[in-house]
Amino acid sequence: MLPRRFRAVAGLLPALSLALAIAACSRDGEPPAEPPPAPPVVEAEPPENGAISVAPVAPEPPPPAPGRKPPAAAKPEPAVDWSPLPLESGEAHIACTLDYSRNGDGEAVPAMERGALEALLTPCAEQGVLRLRYRGRIAADFAALVMRVAEVADALEIPKRILDLDSAGGQVEDAIRVGDFIAGSRWTIWIREDSRCHSACVFVLAAGDVRRVAGPVGVHRIIRMSSTATTRAELNAELRMVYGRVRDYLERNGANVAVADLMMAVPNRSLRLLTTDELLRFGLDGVNPAQDDLDRLRLLRECGQDFVQRRDAFAAAFDRQCRRRVVELDELNACGLALRRRYGFPDETCPVQSPLSEFDLAQAEPPPPEDLLPPEEGVDGEDVLPRDDAVEAEAAGGDEAGG
C-alpha cells in the first residue's frame, strides 16, 4: 500500500494522462507547417554556354615580407582596340528608344567598325540615350562590341546607355574584363522577361550602375576547359584561384561574394535559378551598391540633401511597390515612372540625375495613370504620414540600412 503522501499524486495520474493525450491529439490534428519551397534547379545549357574559364592560372605569390609594400594593382585597360573583328558569338541591335514592346530592338549591327557604329548611334545623340540589345554568348567579340559602342557614345556625348542582355553564359575572363569596363562607363543593364542571364552572364549583370531584372538569372559551377590537372586536388587548386578572382571582381563591383560560394555548390550540368529576394540580397538587382555610394556623395554636392533623401525614399518604395508585384520589364519601368511623381521627380534642378531619367531623354510616352500603382501604404489605402514626412521617414530608414 502506498504511503499517504503518494496517494494524492497517484490519484492525479489519470487526469494528467488524459490531458497529455488531448494535447497530443490537438497537435496531431493540426496540419503540419509546409516547408518553404526549394530554390529551383534546372538543366543547364550546353557546356559552351556555361561559365567557362580558360585563362592560365599560376600559383599564388607568397605574401610580402613585413615592412614591404604589396604588389602594385593591375594596370588599367588599354585604349579600345579597333582591329577588324567580326561579331560571331551573337547578334546585336541598336535603338534610340526604350519601349521594346512597341518599337522592337532597333537596327541590326552589320559590323563592329567605327563607321558602322557611328551611323547607328548618331540618331541617338539628339535624345542622349541608346539601347544595345545583345543575344548570344559572353566572349571576346561581345566585350569588344560593348567597349566600341561606349567609345562612340562618348564621342557623340550620349550619356545614358542601356545594355539589353540575353545570354546563357560564356567565358568567365571575358565577362570579368567587360564587366570592369561597364563599371566605369555608366551602363544600366536589363534582363527582360523574354531573356535570361545565366552563369558567366551574371558577372556582366553585376557590373551595371542599375540592374533591371525580369527574366531568369541562374548560376552554376565554373568549368575549367584548359586545365592540365590530372587529380581532383590539382583541379580544386586551380578552381580556388579562379574563384578568388571572381570574389575580388564581385566585391569591387558591389555584389555579394556569396554568389561565388553558391556557384561552387551547383554542378555545371545543373543551373540554380535565383529568387527575387536572392537577387536583391546578393546585390544583383536594382541600384549597384558600390556605384550608389559614389553617386550619393556627388548628388549631395550637386543636388542637395533633400534630393538625395527623396531619391532614397523612391528606391525603397520602388522595391516594395513595383519590383515585388510586376513581372514584365516594360511594366516595371512604367510602374517606376508613375511612382516617382509622388517623390517629386523628375526634379526641376537636377532632371538628368533623377531616377529613370533615361525615359525623359528618350521622349518616352506620357507616364501611365496613377491607378497603375497600388494605394500608398497606410490604413485603408491612405497615407499615415503626409507625403513630405513619409519621404523623410523612408529616407532615414534607408540611411540606417547603409543606403
d(CA 52, CA 227): 11
Of 195, 257, 223, residue with least CA distance to 52: 223
pLDDT band at 325 (very low <50, low <70, confident <90, very high): confident
Whether 120 and 107 have beta carbons less than 8 Å apart is answered as: yes
Whether 311 and 272 have beta carbons less than 8 Å apart is answered as: no
Whether 117 and 149 have beta carbons less than 8 Å apart is answered as: yes
Q: How many residues does the chain have?
A: 403
Q: What is the pLDDT of residues 58-109, one digit of tens each?
A: 555 445 555 544 434 444 555 899 999 999 999 999 999 999 999 999 999 9
Of 370, 366, 367, 344, residue with least CA distance to 355: 344
Please state, rounded to an integer, the average pLDDT across all residues of the chain: 82
Write down the domain spans for the chain: 47-59+82-287, 303-400
pLDDT band at 298 (very low <50, low <70, confident <90, very high): very high
Q: What local confidence, expressed as pLDDT, does residue 354 receive? A: 96
Q: At 191, phi and psi to the nearest 5?
A: -120, 100
| β-pair type (129-136, 170-171) | unpaired
Q: What local confidence, expressed as pLDDT, does residue 329 receive? A: 94
Q: What is the pLDDT of residues 218-258, one digit of tens each?
A: 999 998 877 788 898 988 888 889 999 999 999 999 999 99
Cα end-to-end distance, the chain, whole Å: 75
Average pLDDT over residues 109-114: 97
Amino acid identity for residue 101 in this structure: S
Q: What local confidence, expressed as pLDDT, does residue 396 receive? A: 43
Whether 125 and 150 have beta carbons less than 8 Å apart is answered as: no
Torsion of CA 75, 80, 82, 84, to 10 degrees: 60
- Cis peptide bond prior to 46, omega within 30° of 0: no
Query: For residue 69, with 0-12 CB atoms within 10 Å meaning exposed, 13-18 middle and 19 or more buried, which class applies?
Result: exposed
- Residues in contact with 367: Cβ distance below 8 Å, sequence separation at least 6, in sequence order: 334, 337, 338, 341
| β-pair type (51-53, 223-224) | parallel
Pick the CATH number of 47-59+82-287 from 3.40.50.720, 3.40.50.1240, 3.90.226.10, 3.30.565.10: 3.90.226.10
d(CA 151, CA 153): 5
